[in-house]
Structure 1
Amino acid sequence: MSGSDEDAGRAAPSKRADARRNKETLLDAAASVFVTSGVHAPVRDIAAEAGVGLGTIYRHFPTRADLIIAVYRHQVEACAEAGPALLASSATPHAALGQWVNLFVDFLVTKHGLAAVLHSDDAGFDTLHAYFLDRLVPVCAQLLEAAAAAGEIRSDLGAYELMRGVGNLCIGADSDPRYDARRLVELLIAGLRRTD
């Protein structure tokens, strides 16, 4: 292999890594704008948050629906990957569970807006919801099992049940400034602690 062939071989993976990072930056920016301004926020606001031009966004995501679905999947993956990382880096499994639930709440606040837009395509929404459950229920279960095994929390609560409860506490949080869902979720997580 000649030197130029080796350079070309190294450039392709580097270019793919850069493109992946740029796409992740766009998705993070879109999620941030969706949280503060809703899913109907102008694309120019997302471009400004990401520090890119409008053309870059439309090149990656030709329609708003494409962008919304990509944000949804990106946030599910980030939440799924955070669980094991938090278990490895937190002082206790209960602390890791609390931090993960905070990330989950952030996702849910965004998700409620996404869900309203995506419900116009029920089959597509059902597929995304199944993906959400398949990726996040096992992560939550791992965190709950670790905290229960450490004797920090009661062991009679399932992952789906906890996630559903947290989700229900988050309903309406984005439309009522008097309602502090995060505070109620913190009380829920604190209430999991063993008292004996």
Structure 2
Amino acid sequence: MTPPRSAKPAQPDQTAPETGPDRPGQPTGRPRTAGARPMRADARRNYERLLAAAATVLEEQGTEASLEEIARRAGVGIGTLYRHFPTRAALLEAVLQDSMATLEGRARDLTASADPTAGLLAWLRDLAAYATRFRGLASAVMVNLVDEHTDFESCAGMLTAAGTLLRQAQLAGGVRPDVSVPDAVTLVNALVWALEQGNGDEEQFERLFDVVARGLRP
């Protein structure tokens, strides 16, 4: 699905993004700076246009997409893009934040599974699907999920929920006790990256995911 884009350019803004809880249907990824002022209406329009344009361009070109092209399609200058998103990673996090929130909710839901090991494997499949949203996502962004110095603050809740799910699977005897969430995420990330490089198909993914699943078991 292609996000909507406005055809009318907005004027560049000078204000900081607003803070506060995300609202359904609204772009996410706002910097979490204490005391940041709410955005003006024109700044909010620029922000929303940038996220919509970024989602479209990333779908087309992958994570190395031109930031200048994203700004152009949003109808703003490159300076406006950098005022909202000072780094490429910040822009990617903003675009992907809803997906990470969905993965967090999915992990929490799966903690109620009668079979926690099956629940963990289901979540790892969801993670793999997430990693294929844009070409290059596995190598350019997924590493942030296991980096303690990551700029991806929004992944913290997701990893915490996944950790609870993993511990349940370990207590049930379905997963090796020495496996950590970063271990599991890295395995899935590596699998997605390898298939992306070799243009692997769904059959190959299923075969290799089974190898990963077997490796997680005691």
Alignment TM-score > 0.5, same fold: yes
Q: In proportion to residue count, which structure has more helix?
A: 1
**CA displacement, residues 59-104 of structure 1 (integer Å, 9 cap, x when unaligned):** xxx759676332222222211121011222x341011101100111
Distance in 2 between the 1:114 and 1:71 partners? 12
**Residue identity in the other structure for 2:190:** N
Distance in 2 between the 1:171 and 1:152 partners? 26
| Aligned match of 2:16 | none
**Residue identity in the other structure for 2:62:** G
**CA displacement, residues 109-150 of structure 1 (integer Å, 9 cap, x when unaligned):** 2366357778xxxxxxx6434x26533332222111101212
**Matching of residue 183 in structure 1 with residue 187 in structure 2:** no
Task: Map 1:158-173 onto structure 2 (within 5 A).
Answer: 158-173=180-195
| Aligned match of 1:128 | 151
Tell me if the contact between 1:97 and 1:144 (Cα under 8 Å) persists in the aligned partners: yes
Tell me if the contact between 2:111 and 2:165 (Cα under 8 Å) persists in the aligned partners: yes
Q: Where does structure 2 lack aligned partners over 5 or more consecutive residues? A: 1-22, 29-48, 67-72, 142-148
Distance in 2 between the 1:175 and 1:81 partners? 30
Summarize the Cα distance change of 1:34–1:183 in structure 2 as closer, same or farther, 3 Å threshold: farther
**Matching of residue 113 in structure 1 with residue 136 in structure 2:** yes
Which of 142, 148, 170 matches 2:164?
142
The normalised TM-score by structure 1 is 0.56
Tell me if the contact between 1:35 and 1:110 (Cα under 8 Å) persists in the aligned partners: yes
**Matching of residue 85 in structure 1 with residue 109 in structure 2:** yes
Task: Map 1:1-196 onto structure 2 (within 5 A).
Answer: 20-21=24-25, 23=27, 34=58, 38-39=62-63, 40=65, 63=81, 68-88=92-112, 90-110=113-133, 113-114=136-137, 127-129=150-152, 131=153, 134-178=156-200, 180-194=204-218
The normalised TM-score by structure 2 is 0.52
Summarize the Cα distance change of 1:69–1:144 in structure 2 as closer, same or farther, 3 Å threshold: closer
Summarize the Cα distance change of 1:142–1:68 in structure 2 as closer, same or farther, 3 Å threshold: same
Summarize the Cα distance change of 1:36–1:145 in structure 2 as closer, same or farther, 3 Å threshold: farther
**CA displacement, residues 17-60 of structure 1 (integer Å, 9 cap, x when unaligned):** xx732658x989x869856863549xxxxxxxxxxxx88x99xx
**Residue identity in the other structure for 1:78:** T
SS in 1 for 2:174: coil
Q: Where does structure 1 lack aligned partners over 5 or more consecutive residues? A: 1-18, 42-53, 119-125
Distance in 2 between the 1:191 and 1:115 partners? 21
Matched length: 158
Summarize the Cα distance change of 1:36–1:92 in structure 2 as closer, same or farther, 3 Å threshold: farther
Cα RMSD between the aligned structures? 4.4
Distance in 1 between the 2:131 and 2:24 partners? 24
Summarize the Cα distance change of 1:75–1:143 in structure 2 as closer, same or farther, 3 Å threshold: same
Summarize the Cα distance change of 1:67–1:157 in structure 2 as closer, same or farther, 3 Å threshold: closer
